[in-house]
Amino acid sequence: MHDHHDHDEHDHTTHTHDHNHDEHTHDTEGVHGHGHVHGTVNADLYGNKAGLRAVQISTAGMLLVALIQFGIAAIGGSAGLFADALHNLGDVLTTVALWIAFIVSSRAANQRYTYGYHRGEDLAGIFIVLVIIASAVASAVESIQKLASGVAPTHLVLSMAAALVGVAGNELLAQYKISVGKRINSVPLIADGQHSRIDGLTSLAAFIGLVFAAFGLPIADPIAGIVITIVIVTVVYSTTRSVLQRLLDAVDARIVPRIIASSSSVSGVEKVCEVRARWVGHTLHIAMNIEVDPELTLVKAHAIAEEVRHRLFHDIEGASDVIIHTDPVCNDGEDYHEMMAHHVQEAQRPLVQR
């Protein structure tokens, strides 16, 4: 008995009836402390709207900061402040990339892109990593050139004020983007927030260098820039790791055990196996097998599978698609998949450990 379920078969975004299993308040990712109320949130729509709003606000804010710094750098001739303005302009480019990604990911699935366009967010993550690397290189080059030339900037007070604007503006935007990114499970938005934090540190380095320059130590400015370059390289590593893990379909190690526990709690489920989960953009796709009593009718087996899907939409944050294959439980050692065994072997498809 096999029961395949498509996502369109049961709309989980329009239910208004109440359920009582654990009040549906769960912490499923380690970063979500709020309860998930079934029937009020469409994860796809919610994520795109929140993400678009975040990148729109961030783009406007960072562009303003960059323009202020460019103007004052032109007046005072501070190479450090000019480099910081370049970093902030680079951050504007990354948020524009995210803006485009969120718009693309909102397009409906079709016969060619059957899972939709959510991977656009993950591709934007790669672009953001490349921009951060470029920022590290630019910071290193600018600092070394300043160290070699020994040219001291002018209009120090005005330049220091512009650097502090960069520190405050970038940190505020970083906190905002990281918060929204965690809330909608968007790794690229979190990565972009970390990039803003890097630019805030760069602004701080420019400020410290200008302070020391005011006290007659202009060499401190390029030295601070080199130190910040090292910090940027360490952040590049952690951000790249997060983006690549998402591209390789990695999930939190706690998700699969929670899926198994939630599914096994449904009456009539004898066994849960072949569980697979992956993030597509900021939505979680789940595929799995369940074993039920072979004497059940198709209607009853289908009802059990639907209850499992229903439970997972409540219990697993971000779940947007759950595909369930229903098998008869093997009570007498009979192999119900014998017909497919040689195909699996020929394809050399590694099976998920049961």
CATH for 21: 3.30.70.1350
Sorting pLDDT into bands at 50, 70 and 90, what band is 104?
Answer: confident
Same domain, residue pair 310 and 182:
no
Alpha carbon distance 10, 305 (integer Å): 11
Judge whether 174 lies within some domain. yes
Q: Is the pLDDT of residue 267 over 70?
A: yes
The Cα-based distances of 214 to 9, 43, 70, 84, 167 in angstroms read: 69, 52, 20, 18, 19
Q: Are 188 and 233 contained in the same domain?
A: yes
The residue written with tokens 């208004």 in the block is: 16
Pick from 1, 30, 94: which is nearest to 336 by CA? 1
**Structure confidence at residue 203 (pLDDT):** 85
Distance CA 222, CA 174 (A): 25
Q: In the predicted model, is pLDDT for residue 308 greater than 90?
A: yes
- 136 part of a folded domain: yes
- Do residues 169 and 77 share a domain? yes
Which of residues 211, 228, 247 is at a domain's end? 247
Interatomic CA distance for residues 27 and 17, integer angstroms: 22
pLDDT on residue 216:
85
Q: How many domains does the chain have?
A: 2
What pLDDT is attached to residue 290?
96
Number of Cβ within 10 Å of residue 233's Cβ equals 15
Asked whether residue 21 carries a pLDDT value surpassing 60, the answer given is no
pLDDT per residue as tens digits for the range 231-262 = 778 778 877 888 888 888 899 999 999 999 99
Is pLDDT larger for residue 188 or for residue 3? 188
Give me 271's structure tokens: 């066994």
- Average pLDDT score over the chain: 78
Using one digit for the tens of pLDDT, what is the confidence trace for 35-69? Answer: 322 222 233 333 567 777 887 888 888 889 889 98
Q: What is the 8-class DSSP label of residue 295?
A: T
H or E element, residue 278: strand 271-280
Tell me if 353 is assigned to some domain: no
Q: Is the pLDDT of residue 306 over 90?
A: yes
- Is 152 or 213 the better-scoring residue by pLDDT? 213
pTM: 0.63
Pull the structure tokens for residue 152: 């001291």
Note down the domain range covering 192: 43-247
pLDDT at 75: 86
Confirm if 81 and 68 have CB atoms less than 8 A apart: no
Considering Cα of 213, then 218, then 220, then 224, what sign does the dihedral take?
positive
Of 215, 231, 247, the last residue of a domain is: 247
* Cα 29 to Cα 179: distance, rounded to the nearest angstrom: 14
Collapsing DSSP to helix, strand or coil, 204 comes out as helix
Q: Which of 44-48, 139-143, 275-279 has the lowest mean pLDDT?
A: 44-48
CA–CA dist 143, 78 (Å, integer)? 12
Please report whether residue 1 resides in a domain: no
Burial class (CB in 10 A: 0-12, 13-18, 19+), 112: exposed
- Does 288 have pLDDT greater than 90? yes
HSE value, Cβ hemisphere, 13 Å, CA-based, for 291: 13
pLDDT of residue 352 exceeding 70 = no
**Which residues, in sequence order, are CB contacts of 95 under 8 Å at separation 6+?**
55, 58, 59, 62, 192
Q: Which residue has the higher pLDDT, 137 or 43?
A: 137
